[in-house]
Amino acid sequence: MEPSISIKNLSLSFGSLDVLKDLNLDVGQGEFLVLLGSSGCGKSTLLNCIAGLLDVTGGQIFIGGRNVTWAEPSQRGIGMVFQSYALYPQMTVAGNLSFGLKNAGLPKAEIEERVNRAAKVLQIEPLLSRKPAALSGGQRQRAAIGRALVRDANVFLFDEPLSNLDAKLRADLRVEIKQLHQKLSNTMIYVTHDQIEAMTLADRIAIMRGGQILQLASPNEIYNRPASKYVAEFIGSPTMNFFEGDLEETGGTYRFTTGGKTFSLDGYAFQDGPPAAGAAWFGIRPEHMVSGAEAEASPVRFDGHVELVEPLGSDTLVRFTIGDRTLWVRMDGQATVRHGDAISVGFDPARANLFDKTTESRL
């Protein structure tokens, strides 16, 4: 099937500063794509290019098979939701929703019908006659989504829409956006720096850095098989534990040596066949480590001392030290550990991630 959005060799520079570099991306019809990255990685810039709010320096953008590289934002068949809501303060919610339709010269009856339909979907019907100033943050963002909805666009662009909301509302609206996507099944591109939003919403996540896409894959793949050390560190909280060491091979079995300890890598699925031996990073997520009795049964085991305990209710995060190294482990919420306790942790190397020392790409 033809992709809904296709970006070919896109580049954008401000003077000598290259913000996007030769970027290629295809987004399928009805797909929910999340652009994830730390600030300054070019994710919002990419979204603005797709929306037509920034003129590109090179490359092409296709939306619904149509070349829209030079088209005005309003002619691209998109709806956009902004971080600061960007509601017109002097208009009522109904006025905000109908502004774009009036500009498009739609007949009055149809405008009204579309506004009412969008308001019904978003449950903002009682708010239609209010001004944005009289709305709460969540209501404002819902109205802003409504403004994108009435356009009947095939593509929705979200620019960090939940970043201005408090934690509770953010979780609620996140669910609503997901439900909206399931109901409408339009193509959605969603920019965020929040990995939880990315993991929960996305069909596919594009991790960006320095104007390029590092990895484009499903949340599951990104979490379990990060393509590079950067991605592995970026996704997951607390961040992945890394051991610096050497990869050795003897008769087809691989072993990893770190800090005077050597263990077998039985069960680890290498990315591109058996790699050459050499310096490497060994990464294991805090939630893939076990402690106590389970640790005894693990193929690899470390003993250390608890340095810090962060009880979260559902889980307890424990930071512990082995020698001069600090690691995180995620334990059960009922675990009773205290600062200074001796702790024994173990893990299965099959769940680990190996990265080349120099290229930092997955082995």
Partner 1 sequence: MTKAPHLLKGSMTYDTAMETGPDRALRHGDGSSSGNRMVEGPAGRKPRKALSRRNILIYGTLIVVCLYYLLPLYVMIVTSLKGMPEIRLGNIFAPPVEVTFQPWVKAWAEACTGLNCDGLSRGFFNSVKILIPSVILSIAIASVNGYALANWRFKGSETFFAILIVGAFIPYQVMIYPIVIMLREIGLYGSLTGLVIVHTIFGMPILTLLFRNYFASVPQELFKAARVDGAGFWAIYFQIMVPMSLPIFVVAMILQVTGIWNDFLFGVIYTKPDLYPMTVQLNNIVNSTQGVKEYNVNMAATILTGLVPLTIYFISGKLFVRGIAAGAVKG
- Give the shortest CB-45-to-partner 1 separation in angstroms: 13
The smaller minimum CB distance to partner 1, of residues 53 and 322, is found at 53
Which of 78, 177, 232, 280 touches partner 1 by CB under 8 A? 78
- Give the shortest CB-9-to-partner 1 separation in angstroms: 25
Within the chain, residue ranges assigned H as helices are 43-51, 93-103, 108-122, 137-149, 167-184, 195-201, 219-224, 229-234, 293-297
Residue 133 interacts with partner 1 (CB under 8 A): yes or no? yes
Tell me which long-range contacts 302-306 makes (C-beta under 8 A, separation of at least 24).
302/261, 302/327, 302/344, 302/345, 302/346, 303/342, 303/343, 303/344, 304/342, 304/343, 304/344, 304/345, 305/340, 305/341, 305/342, 305/343, 306/337, 306/338, 306/339, 306/340, 306/341, 306/342, 306/343
Which of 90, 182, 253, 262 touches partner 1 by CB under 8 A? 90
Q: Would you say 344 and 292 are in contact if contact means Cβ atoms under 8 Å apart?
A: yes
- Cα–Cα–Cα angle for 214, 219, 221, rounded to 5 degrees: 75
Which of 1, 17, 39, 72 touches partner 1 by CB under 8 A? 72
Supply the angle between the helices 137-149 and 167-184 in degrees, to the nearest 10. 20
Q: Would you say 132 and 87 are in contact if contact means Cβ atoms under 8 Å apart?
A: yes
Residue 161 interacts with partner 1 (CB under 8 A): yes or no? no
Which of 37, 42, 132, 304 touches partner 1 by CB under 8 A? 132
Residue 270 interacts with partner 1 (CB under 8 A): yes or no? no
Residue 71 interacts with partner 1 (CB under 8 A): yes or no? no
Which of 6, 18, 26, 53 touches partner 1 by CB under 8 A? 53
The smaller minimum CB distance to partner 1, of residues 134 and 175, is found at 134
Residue 316 interacts with partner 1 (CB under 8 A): yes or no? no
Residue 165 interacts with partner 1 (CB under 8 A): yes or no? no
Residue 277 is given by DSSP the state: P
- Give the shortest CB-132-to-partner 1 separation in angstroms: 5
Residue 79 interacts with partner 1 (CB under 8 A): yes or no? yes
**Can you give the binding site for partner 1, defined by CB under 8 A?**
48, 51-53, 72-75, 78-80, 82-84, 86-90, 99-100, 103-104, 131-133, 147, 159
